[in-house]
Structure 1
Amino acid sequence: MDSPVTVPYTSFINIDRKSNAPVYMQISNQLINAIQRGILPAGTKLPGTRSMSQLLTVHRNTIVAAYDELLAQGWIESVPNKGTFVHGSDPETQNPDINFQKNDLQRYPKTTGFTFKHSSILDNPFEKSGCDYIFNDGIPDIRLTQIDQHSRIYSSILKRKAHKINQYNHDGSEFFKENLSRYLNLSRGLPISKNNLLITRSTEMSIYIASQILLAEGDVVLVGELSYFSVNMIFQQSKVAIHRVPVDREGIDVGAVREICSRQKVRMLYLTPHHHYPTTVTLSAQRRLELLRLAATYGFIILEDDYDYDFHYDKSPILPLASADTSGMVIYIGSFGKSLAPGFRTGFIVAPENLMDEMRKYLGIIDRQGDILMEQVLGEMIAEGEIHRYLKKSVKVYRERKEAFTLLLEEYLGNYIQFEQPSGGLAIWAEWKAPVNLMQLSRLCAQNNLFIPKTLLYQNRNLTAMRLGFGNLNQQEMEHSVRILSECAADLI
């Protein structure tokens, strides 16, 4: 066997004197790593403690401690009168061929050693940019959030000696669910209790759980002709057959839904009736009642997403379909605290109790612990009326921004686009009067410091449109953004 000192130990044992980890543990861990990766095969003789201490320029007692750790963990064995060997075979018959490449232990594998399924459906559609000005999907402005106040509530909960954490289970905080159920009753007319609620991390998680339970491969799911791309990705991953239904100024075409149901079995209809995504139109009251009748007649599930429900400007919002559902055909999903800082938001599902029982099983697998402290904060904000006061203030700001944004669009882009002021939400649906290559327009805008993500662009043979979010922009940012878009459009049209 080769002399143990010919192994280049100093190449793969690196000691960090500034680390909090003891030096002997650093040495033992790196020796274990070398053994695991085959750089020190079974039967390899290790240098004596004196020789190793000289090689690594550490005290001999440090090496003794490192070897003791390796012995205790079973990685090496000490053979009297012969030395210390890597455990696993007879040192007299083993003659390992050590083929060490420098930095082997510093490299992590670039690829797996096994095959797995690749999903092109779930590719991340979102883009990033370094532009100063950005049109987004219609998200709130986090600069308006009262993060200090939220943090104080969070901190006070942490400091308390007694609060309702002991009432927590994997389904969520009982305190939060009690308050959220009352809040949804008052704000959305949902006659529910906490037993009808499932707390999730997001709308997407809610839809994923519902899809796992309710959909099977080949099921027919109806969505709007233009619909929320993230939700469509979840449905496609479930291998269902997606049928697209036209959407007009009154929302989804109920006549088209009826015609499809008369020809084939429909399992689910997904819609965002309050402000249809992406066109922002509100589903009329008459169509809401007709959809409930169709669901009861043909037995399909209505998956109602309350997208942007909290942001309504003109009058009292129309109540959800779920508030008028007496047949148990509607599953209502949404997010709570969307106008708050990102870390202070959560999702929820409202459904009959028998379905809740099954959904809790799935939530217990993918998110068993949840976030009890955050839910406690949100529960207290509801109980103390803070969420009502905050929403009132933020809606006032967003109403003003909507009005300012529409004036800017009319001034700078009135010759190019047509749009209607939405009754709510944080985005405007703008259709181009003349054909223009939207991808080319987006690239030109990016060159001029305005980023327009591809997820906001809608273009086919019959339509050229954009969804322009204004909620995140102040007056100055709106003016710069619209001016850039106008100048770039003028260059292309």
Structure 2
Amino acid sequence: MSSPVEIPFPSIVRIERDGASPVFLQIARQMINAIQRGVLRTGVRLPGTRTLAELLDVHRKTVVAAYQELDAQGWIELVPNKGTFVAHRLPGQEDSPAGFGAELLSGYPRTAGFAFEQSMLLDRPVTLSRAGLEFTDGLPDVRLAPLGKLAKAYSSVLRRGNNRKFLGYSHVEGNSYFREKMADYLNNTRGLHIGTDNILTTRGIQMGIYLASMLLLRSGDNVVVGNLSYYVANMIFQQAGANILQVPVDEEGISIEAVRALCEMRQIRMLYITPHHHYPTTVTLSAERRMALLSLSVQYGFVILEDDHDYDFHYHSSPVLPLASADRAGMVVYVGSFCKAIAPGLRSGYLVAPANLIHELGKMRRIIDRQGDLLMEQALGELLDEGEIQRHIKKATKVYHSRRDHLQKLLDEQLSPFLRFTTPPGGLAVWTEWRKDISLMRVSRECSRYGLHLPQTLLFQNEGLSGARLGFGNLNEEELGNAVEILNTVLSKAGYVH
């Protein structure tokens, strides 16, 4: 029988003095864990309460309470005149299925003990990298985010005496003040004609797409997307059980004739589109096609799910207004967010639709996210009211415009033998079409050796296509220069001669 002196109890029991759990429960639970892992074996004599109290630097009464808890649960045995021992028959060994409790735990189970359906969705997820440089699919530079202004506004909301209304549960479609300011902002910048009852707040665009899909789609429904299209949205549609039908995309956006042909052949439930800057090719849907698409949606009764993921950044003339601004029949569901306008980690999005649909979507959102972040929404609403977000977007647009032009120059000077591109009128990414003899996966792997992360999700390569979406927003001009230089080095060393 092991001596209790040989057991390193200070290593077994780590006490958090400021933890939420009482200290005696921390001691009891960690000793149970040690018994389950076999560190404290059955029959081992435990130290007396005074000795263990000294070892753990706690009051003796705390250890007494811990031992009482362990005894009550059946993990230890108190033997008069002999001491305290780990129980020979542990909880779970009596009247239990074979194997349960019979073997001590060596760690948390690696696999579930029950069957469940496995999905191919996100088998190629967005990968995180510690590389110093990274091309994204069009993320902003968080270094430009107005964090000071946001922190001040958020802190102010927390300090107010009336903040309790933001700290409890709510049954509304988001912070009413934020929705009011958001309605004003969207009406002024996007030509919408909405009120607070037309807005549901979300945790970003993907949540908006998910909620709309779960409510509006049923298994077997047909969803039309561009070829190419946003892979995450496609995964959401597949999760909803929908069939995905692709239509061509050219320099004016998706083909209206192809959409019409599909509608004549089968019932279409939804069309998903990123009209301002098509994902991934960045082309803008022409005004003529916008009106034709709205007309088709009314004629054939399909929902238009409009994803306006980077409307805020445009570099030349005024941006083309969203389809939702010209929707008079209630056929458009419009999703957007501040994740690119401010920072991706700020999960603040919105979904715009007719009031009766917003009401139903609000019910569905409460299943997965009861109310959103009312405190943050209040702070954002105040920044909108003060014009801080609008000023930030105006300043950031100038920075991103300069970075786009700089990347264009770098691509022309260093990579023109390998690829071609069209300068996008806005957004935070450039679509590049590469020579078909270049393996983009190989280029991605080699770039990582030089400290440049080129995610697989940005690469589109098959027999008829070789393209990559290069986001420039997160890189300053020096970093863009380094990234393009790495690409040039990799391509040259790989033997892709000019």
Measured against the shorter chain, the TM-score band is 0.7 to 0.9
CA drift of 1:271 comes to 0.4
1:165–1:463: structure 2 CA closer, same or farther, 3 Å change rule? same
Q: How does 1:11-410 map to 2 (within 5 A)?
A: 16=13, 19-20=16-17, 24-30=24-30, 61=61, 63-70=63-70, 104=104, 107-162=107-162, 165=165, 169-410=171-412
CA drift of 1:53 comes to 6.2
Which of 478, 489, 496 aligns to 1:492? It is 496
CA distance in 2, matches of 1:259, 1:460: 26
TM-score of the pair, normalised by structure 1? 0.86
Q: Which region of structure 1 is more displaced relative to structure 2, 75-84 or 358-367?
A: 75-84
1:18–1:367: structure 2 CA closer, same or farther, 3 Å change rule? closer
CA drift of 1:77 comes to 9.9
CA distance in 2, matches of 1:326, 1:98: 65
CA deviations over 1:309-366 (Å, ceiling 9, x no partner): 0011111111111111111111001112522134434111111111111111111010
CA distance in 2, matches of 1:484, 1:445: 7
CA distance in 2, matches of 1:45, 1:446: 54
CA deviations over 1:370-402 (Å, ceiling 9, x no partner): 111110111011111111111111101111111
Given that 2:150 and 2:380 are in contact with CA atoms closer than 8 Å, whether structure 1 keeps it comes out as no
Q: Secondary structure at the match of 1:429?
A: strand
Q: How does 1:408-447 map to 2 (within 5 A)?
A: 408-433=410-435, 435-447=437-449
What is the Cα-based RMSD across aligned positions, in Å?
Answer: 3.7
Q: Secondary structure at the match of 2:29?
A: helix
Aligned to 2:467: 465
Given that 2:48 and 2:83 are in contact with CA atoms closer than 8 Å, whether structure 1 keeps it comes out as no
CA drift of 1:122 comes to 2.9
CA deviations over 1:214-264 (Å, ceiling 9, x no partner): 111111110001000111111111221101100000000000000010000
Equivalent pairs counted in the alignment come to 480
1:60–1:431: structure 2 CA closer, same or farther, 3 Å change rule? closer
1:25–1:388: structure 2 CA closer, same or farther, 3 Å change rule? closer
Given that 1:196 and 1:352 are in contact with CA atoms closer than 8 Å, whether structure 2 keeps it comes out as yes
CA distance in 1, matches of 2:197, 2:354: 8
Q: Which runs of 5+ in 2 are unaligned?
A: none
Structure 1 letter corresponding to 2:226: G
1:162–1:17: structure 2 CA closer, same or farther, 3 Å change rule? closer
Given that 1:223 and 1:269 are in contact with CA atoms closer than 8 Å, whether structure 2 keeps it comes out as yes
CA distance in 2, matches of 1:318, 1:23: 62
Given that 1:15 and 1:23 are in contact with CA atoms closer than 8 Å, whether structure 2 keeps it comes out as no
CA drift of 1:464 comes to 1.2
Q: Secondary structure at the match of 2:304?
A: strand
CA distance in 2, matches of 1:373, 1:60: 44
CA distance in 2, matches of 1:264, 1:176: 41
TM-score of the pair, normalised by structure 2? 0.85
CA distance in 1, matches of 2:248, 2:293: 14
Structure 1 letter corresponding to 2:107: R
Q: Which region of structure 1 is more displaced relative to structure 2, 109-118 or 12-21?
A: 12-21
CA distance in 2, matches of 1:95, 1:369: 45
CA distance in 1, matches of 2:448, 2:388: 40
CA distance in 1, matches of 2:446, 2:81: 77
Q: Which runs of 5+ in 1 are unaligned?
A: none
Given that 1:139 and 1:471 are in contact with CA atoms closer than 8 Å, whether structure 2 keeps it comes out as yes
CA drift of 1:481 comes to 1.4
CA drift of 1:124 comes to 4.8
Structure 2 letter corresponding to 1:116: F
Given that 1:50 and 1:60 are in contact with CA atoms closer than 8 Å, whether structure 2 keeps it comes out as no
1:26–1:348: structure 2 CA closer, same or farther, 3 Å change rule? closer
CA distance in 2, matches of 1:270, 1:198: 19
Percentage identity across aligned positions?
50
CA distance in 1, matches of 2:388, 2:49: 65
Q: Which region of structure 1 is more displaced relative to structure 2, 12-21 or 77-86?
A: 77-86
1:216–1:40: structure 2 CA closer, same or farther, 3 Å change rule? farther
CA drift of 1:136 comes to 1.2
